[in-house]
Structure 1
Amino acid sequence: MFKDRKDAALRLAGLLEKYKEDSDAMVFAIPRGGVVIGRVIADCLKVPLDIIVARKIRAPFNEELAIGAVDPAGNPIVNDEAVRMLRIGEEYLEKEIRKKTEEVRARLKKYRGNNRYPSLSGKKAILVDDGIATGYTVKAAIAFLKGLEAEKIILAAPVIAPDTLAEIKLQADEVFYMLSKEPFYAVGQFYNEFPQVADDEVIMLLHP
C-alpha cells in the first residue's frame, strides 16, 4: 500500500535512479493523477517534465467499460475483440472517437497551450502514471511517443494490473513498478489517500 501519490512517486523514483541527470531523459506524465507522480520523479531525477494526454474510448451503456483510447494526435487504439463481443456499431465508435479527440485537444490546450511536441529522436521517454488498470491510455501514449521517434520508452507506475503487465512489457523497452497482484479492482485500492486531482493542480505542477 502507498500512503498517497507522493509517497508512491518517491519510491518509484528510487527505481529510476540510473536516469538521474541524464540529459537525454525526459518524464512524460499522463494527467491528471500521473502528473503528481511525474512532478516528483522529474524533480528527483533532475530531468524535464511534460504530459501526454490520452482519453479512454467508452463502451455504450457503460461508461466504466473502456474499449480503447485516443492519443494526443487523435489516433485511436481500439480493442476489436471487445467491439465485436459487445456488438458496438461503427457509427457509435466514430462518434465516440471524435468526442474523445475533442476532449484531448481541449486538455492539451489547457495544459500545454499551443506548444507542439518536439521530436524525441535520440531521447529516452519515461512515461508515468499513478497506476495502470486496462492499460489503454498507456498503450495510446506509448504509440504516440514512438511516433515522436523516442529512442527508448520507459514505463513507470506504482501499480499495474497483472493482466495488463504482460501486454505492456511487449510495448515498452523497460517497465518499472512496485505492485502487481490480484485481486485488482481499481488503482485507488492500493492507496490510503487517492483524491481527485484538479486541472489547476496539474497546471501548477507543470509550471512550478
Structure 2
Amino acid sequence: MAIHEFRDRRAAGRALAQSLAAYADQPDVRVLALPRGGVPVAFEVAEALHAPLDVFVVRKLGVPGHEEYAMGAIATGHMQVLDDEVVRQLGLSDAAIARVVQAERAELERRERQYHSRRPALDVRGCKVLLVDDGLATGSTMRAAVRALRLLQPACIIVCSPVASVEAAALLRGEADEVICLFTPAHFHAVGKWYTDFSQTTDEEVMELLDRPHGPT
C-alpha cells in the first residue's frame, strides 16, 4: 500500500461518497463537516448525495506544552470530553485544563459566528446525520462531536472518514450508530501521511464551499 492514498481532501471526499451511495436523494439526510479539514471532504459527499451541508465545530484540547497531543475536545453546545487517562498520567491540574478550554472555546465561538454568519445552522432533529472529517487519528475530537450532536436529537449519527486508525474506529463504534471508513491501516502514523496534498484548509475555503447550493433542487 502506498503511503499516499488520496491526492487531496476533495478526491478523498469523492471516494468516500461512493461508500455512502445508499444515503443519496434522501430528504432526511444531512451532511455535517468537522472544520476545517473535514469541509472539502464533506462538500464532495454532499454534492454526490444531493444532501444539505453544514459544519459542526469542534476543537481539540492539546496538552500544555505538547499541543499536538490531545487530552480531549470541546464541541458546539458546550460539550467537553476529557481523556481521563491522559489527564491522570500527566498530572494535569484543573486550572491548567481550564486555561486550555478557555482559549479553545474562544476560537470555537469565533468559528461558529463566522461559518453561520450568512445562514443559520441546519436543523438535524430527526435526521440521519453523516458526520465527516478528513481523518481520525485518536478519535477524541470526533467523539466530542458525536456526544454534542446527540443533544440535538438526530435520528442517527454515521461517522464518515476516508481513513482512520484502528483504535479510533473502534472507539467511535461505541459512540456512533455506524462508522464508515474507506480504510483503517494497521500503522496509521498521522492523517496527513495518507494525502499527497494535505495543505491547511482556510476559513475562506470553508465559507466558499458552504456558500455553494446543496441538496435537491
In structure 2, the CA distance between the partners of 1:85 and 1:198, relative to structure 1 (3 Å rule), is same
Structure 1 segment 1-208 matched on structure 2, within 5 A: 1-113=5-117, 117=121, 119-208=123-212
Amino acid aligned to 1:41: V
Task: Give the drift of 1:120.
Answer: 2.5
Corresponding letter in the other structure for 2:169: L
Q: Structure 1: how far apart are the matches of 2:100 and 2:196?
A: 34
Q: Deviation digits for residues 66-102 of structure 1, max 9, x if unmatched?
A: 1000001232100111101000011011121121111
Could you tell me how far 1:118 is from its partner in structure 2?
5.3
Aligned to 1:6, the other structure's residue is in SS state: helix
CA distance in 1, matches of 2:74, 2:125: 23
- Supply the AA of the counterpart residue of 2:138: T
Percent identity between the two aligned chains? 36
Per the alignment, in what secondary structure is the counterpart of residue 178 of structure 1? strand
Within 1, Cα distance between the matches of 2:187 and 2:20?
27
Query: Which whole-Å CA distance do the structure 2 matches of 1:91 and 1:194 have between them?
Result: 34
Structure 1: gaps spanning 5 or more residues: none
Distance 2:202 2:125 in 1: 32
Runs of 5+ in structure 2 lacking a partner? Answer: 213-217
Superposed displacement of residue 161, structure 1: 0.8
1:194 partner letter: F
Q: TM-score, normalised by structure 2?
A: 0.92
Question: 1:117: Cα distance to partner?
Answer: 4.1
Q: 2:12 is aligned with what amino acid?
A: A
CA deviations 1:111-139 (Å, max 9, x no partner) are 11286545533210100011011112111
- The question of whether the paired residues in 1 share the 8 Å contact of 2:30 and 2:124 is answered with no
